[in-house]
Structure 1
């Protein structure tokens, strides 16, 4: 079922009409351009979305392929897949969970929506689009009667504190609001709950390769449906 929502977003001084919708083949260049702007060099360009990955997203799990558009320009996107998640065995890498972004491991019967990526153009981030995309994906979780939304968050400010704090202490301080982390603090504001720290989640110097698994549980989930 295609998703579409219209809303007004604000950056403090101006408002814009935004459309959050399912992305399609015609949007591929715009989606890649968002990543190009959000992750400029020295970020390796081969890690931006490519057409094969995007093709898989819209064909394997279109419900998990969302973009946000303002003034006819794609300014952000969020992508997910369905998987089974065992809380007793939470360790995994981003590559394992997402098939390196190709989502060929998407399980149509999975009860966990796993976040592959969320990305917003830097010039549009003050409009709160990331949070609106996240809430749109929560609506998808409810619509599909899934148990949870789950994803691993980077900890890009951890390297600033790593000489003084363990990763566990850093996460505790971020959750308590004593330390700001641009990714984890954002996810907390979106209603995500931290559940597990993963070593070697992804190759990321700033995070010392750690990822923090954070979930949003569906308050309407029923295993009887």
Structure 2
């Protein structure tokens, strides 16, 4: 199981470091993880898409290595969940979040899958700008390397797209974010984390801000050709 301790500095700590731990989440964390999701994804994000106890238990049962959280000074501050799938980059499949994650239960996890697929990433709002999401993303990159997978893949929301949807396609929006002409809160963050665009998938999630689109973004294992 992955566990890493580190010292980090928040934007309001006057340079004073505090202890953070990335570790697998456990049954005793479930209530707090659900609260973190509710804080991280307020309306118009659909409430029914927030985690429930059964989904979180299924994550641990099916792929505990892919279910991690981060603590700051003993307080749960965020979580990240993934599963392994088989992915053919020469024939990328169109899919929805519900299809690829088994409606968030990941019972379709494939232990020999060549790709680590990101199901969810959230950070408690009070810890935004602490770099916690990047730290959890790095932990997932470590998992890709440790288990010999080809890549990490995930579909990022495009919450800024609704502002310009009348002017351009979702693919054009993604291209402008990648080129730096437009900043998107999610896609620009993924680019900073080293993710590269694969394309756009429609009807991925019931998400008004993204007009139901999402951008497929990957990180390739640098130790595999």
After TM superposition, the score normalised by the length of structure 2 is 0.94
User: Does structure 2 retain, via aligned residues, the 8 Å contact 1:30–1:73?
Assistant: no
User: Does structure 2 retain, via aligned residues, the 8 Å contact 1:10–1:128?
Assistant: no
User: Does structure 1 retain, via aligned residues, the 8 Å contact 2:119–2:154?
Assistant: yes
Q: Which runs of 5+ in 1 are unaligned?
A: none
Of residues 41, 48, 52 in structure 2, which corresponds to 1:46? 48
Asked if residue 68 in structure 1 is aligned to residue 67 in structure 2, the reply is no
Asked if residue 197 in structure 1 is aligned to residue 196 in structure 2, the reply is no
- Aligned match of 1:149: 152
Of residues 72, 82, 85 in structure 1, which corresponds to 2:84? 82
User: Does structure 2 retain, via aligned residues, the 8 Å contact 1:25–1:55?
Assistant: yes
Of residues 113, 118, 122 in structure 2, which corresponds to 1:119? 122
- Give distance in 2, aligned partners of 1:212 and 1:118: 15
- Give distance in 2, aligned partners of 1:74 and 1:186: 22
Question: In structure 2, the residue corresponding to 1:127 is in which secondary structure?
Answer: coil
Q: Residue 13 of structure 1: CA displacement?
A: 4.2
- Give distance in 2, aligned partners of 1:60 and 1:134: 20
- Give distance in 2, aligned partners of 1:63 and 1:188: 24
- Give distance in 1, aligned partners of 2:92 and 2:11: 43
Match runs of 1:1-225 below 5 Å: 2-14=1-13, 15-41=17-43, 43-87=45-89, 88-221=91-224
Cα offsets for 1:116-137 (capped at 9, x unmatched): 0000001101101001100010
User: Does structure 2 retain, via aligned residues, the 8 Å contact 1:31–1:77?
Assistant: yes
- Give distance in 2, aligned partners of 1:57 and 1:51: 10
Cα offsets for 1:2-34 (capped at 9, x unmatched): 111111222334232110111111111111111
- Give distance in 2, aligned partners of 1:84 and 1:61: 15
- Give distance in 2, aligned partners of 1:198 and 1:124: 30
Question: In structure 2, the residue corresponding to 1:219 is in which secondary structure?
Answer: coil
Q: Residue 95 of structure 1: CA displacement?
A: 0.7
- Quick one: structure 1 residues 54 and 189, their matched pair in 2 at CA, closer, same or farther if it must change by over 3 Å? same
- Give distance in 2, aligned partners of 1:94 and 1:45: 15
- Quick one: structure 1 residues 43 and 92, their matched pair in 2 at CA, closer, same or farther if it must change by over 3 Å? closer
Q: CA RMSD in A?
A: 1.3
Question: In structure 1, the residue corresponding to 2:128 is in which secondary structure?
Answer: helix
